[in-house]
Amino acid sequence: MEDRRPVGARQASDLVRVAFGPSLVALVVIAAVTLLQLVIANSDMTGTLGAIASMWLAVHQVPISIAGHQLAVLPLLPVLLMVWGTARATARATSPRASWFVTRWIVASALGGPMLFAAIALAVIHDASSVITELQTPSALRAFSGVLAVHGIGALIGVGSQVGWRALRALRLPIWLGDTVRAATAGLLALLGLSGAVTAVSLVVHWGTMHELYAVTDSVFGQLSLTLLSGLYVPNVIVGTSAVAVGSSAHIGFATFSSFTVFGGDIPALPILAAVPTPPLGPVWVALLIVGAASGVAVGQQCARRPLPWPSALGKLAVASLLAAVVMVVLGYAGGGRLGNFGDIGVDQTTFGPAVFFWFFAIGAVTVVMSGGLRRRPRRIKPPKPEPPIEEPAFADADDDALTAPISDVTEVLAPEPEPDPEPAAESEPVVSPPPPPPPVRPAPNLEDVEDLMIVDDDIESGPLER
């Protein structure tokens, strides 16, 4: 159905939807889950608003502190859903032909609304902490920075999907930079997808361990809560598997896991963590390196779709690999943190990003060469040297005037300027010109024939009558 509202009304509605839509949806879902948990646990509703506000901030990677213990390892699935919701809302509100003024307002709305929600959540938590002493108010700087980062990334993705090409042209950047996003996305999806498949296979292999982790609770509600919590932490485990697949390592406290060595240790009683390898390490885990190589092939194939000269092709591959490495580093940082007495949980940040870049760039370069992603530069044809201009004679422009000019003027125009007499040589002998040839001898006239034609004086003096 066509929207017949004025343009100003439509834009105002879009800005309100972008500012409050994703945050409000997340708040409603969190409130429903929290209330359901409290009702099933037969708990009173004291501090319900504080719990809802804390969980809303936790969606934005803001650590929760309860009774002096900090929960910084937060699930990645809600964060990814929030980023997707913000990107979708901003993309729907942004037109490819929208002015930069309207685009800036959309980005400002996508950031301003969540910041207002964050301020309200901090105030609610501070008020609830006076009733529930175990609940502590998080740092305001950490809360605002987390909310700003999550919604800023979503707004950048949504707006960039609509006006990205126009921005490249406006900034006079190479057009192939737009292709790097597609190549990086293909590599990330390949890496995370194959790592997810490896995680699923590992869960099947370690089915007994997962059953033991479910045995920590006997109630159906507890097992359902563990299943829901494990589902929220699935992206965290997949990111850890990706770190192992590219040659880096992941750790849960003192327990360390890589493709080459495994050091055991205590792990939380979460069923999804049954996928971690157990020592001694078998050779099958070394085959995880194939995942990194296959992801590099995906990046190279996307970069080879439009052949370029080798400097531009390598530049495109390097930018795509760097972009993918930065995204994986951000996911690794967001999926890790400190978990109470277990210590730090996450991936080795010093080797994770460089390992992703190495696999994507090295294998991608080989794929680009083998897939025909390189083309020769067009030869530069040197322009011919310009010929010197032909100087026209001085009288060429005066031809038309010379036809109507007097003879004297024409003579003056056509007469060349007299050349100056050359100076005689210093010691040269005089040149003697040869004598002129004698004149030709003409034959004498025939006098007999001439006399008959001559008229004498007597004939002139006598008149016609006398004759």
Structure tokens of 305? 């779709």
202-212: per-residue pLDDT in tens? 898 888 888 88
Model pLDDT, residue 28: 92
Residue 417, CA distances (Å) to 22, 62, 392, 414 in order = 94, 99, 16, 9
CA dist., res. 288 & res. 243, Å (int): 10
**Quick one: DSSP state of residue 346?**
E
Model pLDDT, residue 418: 52
Model pLDDT, residue 412: 46
**Residue 459, pLDDT above cutoff 60:** no
CA dist., res. 229 & res. 269, Å (int): 11
**Residue 162, pLDDT above cutoff 50:** yes
**Residue 150, pLDDT above cutoff 50:** yes
**Average pLDDT in the 57-85 region?**
86
- Of the pLDDT bands very low, low, confident and very high (cuts 50, 70, 90), residue 4 is low
**Residue 148, pLDDT above cutoff 90:** yes
- Of the pLDDT bands very low, low, confident and very high (cuts 50, 70, 90), residue 465 is very low
- Of the pLDDT bands very low, low, confident and very high (cuts 50, 70, 90), residue 173 is confident
Residue 273, CA distances (Å) to 114, 200, 278, 345 in order = 33, 11, 11, 12
Write phi, then psi, for 70 (nearest 5 degrees).
-100, 130
Structure tokens of 159? 């707006």
CA dist., res. 84 & res. 89, Å (int): 9
**Average pLDDT in the 367-395 region?**
69
Q: Which residues pair with 65 in a beta bridge?
A: 70
Model pLDDT, residue 278: 78
CA dist., res. 334 & res. 125, Å (int): 23
Structure tokens of 427? 């010691």
In three-state secondary structure terms, 145 is helix
Model pLDDT, residue 296: 93
More confident residue, 99 or 411: 99
402-444: per-residue pLDDT in tens? 445 444 444 444 445 555 554 444 444 455 556 666 666 555 5
pLDDT-above-70 percentage for the chain: 77
Q: Who contacts 213 (Cβ-Cβ below 8 Å, separation ≥6)?
A: 226, 269, 270, 271, 273, 274
pLDDT-above-90 percentage for the chain: 31
pTM of the model: 0.76
222-266: per-residue pLDDT in tens? 788 888 888 999 999 999 999 999 989 898 888 888 888 888 778
In three-state secondary structure terms, 71 is strand
More confident residue, 289 or 156: 156
What average pLDDT is seen over the chain? 80
CA dist., res. 198 & res. 275, Å (int): 9
Model pLDDT, residue 329: 94
Q: Are 277 and 262 in contact, with CB atoms under 8 Å apart?
A: yes
Least confident of 109-123, 262-276, 427-441: 427-441
**Average pLDDT in the 107-130 region?**
90
Model pLDDT, residue 183: 92
CA dist., res. 160 & res. 16, Å (int): 20
More confident residue, 69 or 423: 69
In three-state secondary structure terms, 339 is strand
Model pLDDT, residue 289: 83
CA dist., res. 343 & res. 350, Å (int): 18
What is the residue extent of each domain of the chain? 7-171, 174-375
**Average pLDDT in the 381-394 region?**
61
More confident residue, 274 or 424: 274
322-342: per-residue pLDDT in tens? 999 999 999 999 988 888 777
Per-residue b or e along 128-161, where b marks 16 or more CB atoms closer than 10 Å to that residue's CB: bbeeeeebbbbeeeebbebbebbbbbbbbbbbbb
Model pLDDT, residue 38: 78
Structure tokens of 191? 């890496």
39-53: per-residue pLDDT in tens? 776 767 777 888 889
Model pLDDT, residue 434: 62
Model pLDDT, residue 8: 62
**Residue 384, pLDDT above cutoff 50:** yes
Model pLDDT, residue 464: 45
Structure tokens of 187? 């590599």
- Of the pLDDT bands very low, low, confident and very high (cuts 50, 70, 90), residue 343 is confident
- Of the pLDDT bands very low, low, confident and very high (cuts 50, 70, 90), residue 276 is confident
Closest by CA position to 316, among listed 376, 398, 373: 373
- Of the pLDDT bands very low, low, confident and very high (cuts 50, 70, 90), residue 461 is very low
Closest by CA position to 290, among listed 372, 370, 197: 197
More confident residue, 62 or 416: 62
More confident residue, 131 or 78: 78
Structure tokens of 375? 């083309």
Q: Who contacts 418 (Cβ-Cβ below 8 Å, separation ≥6)?
A: none
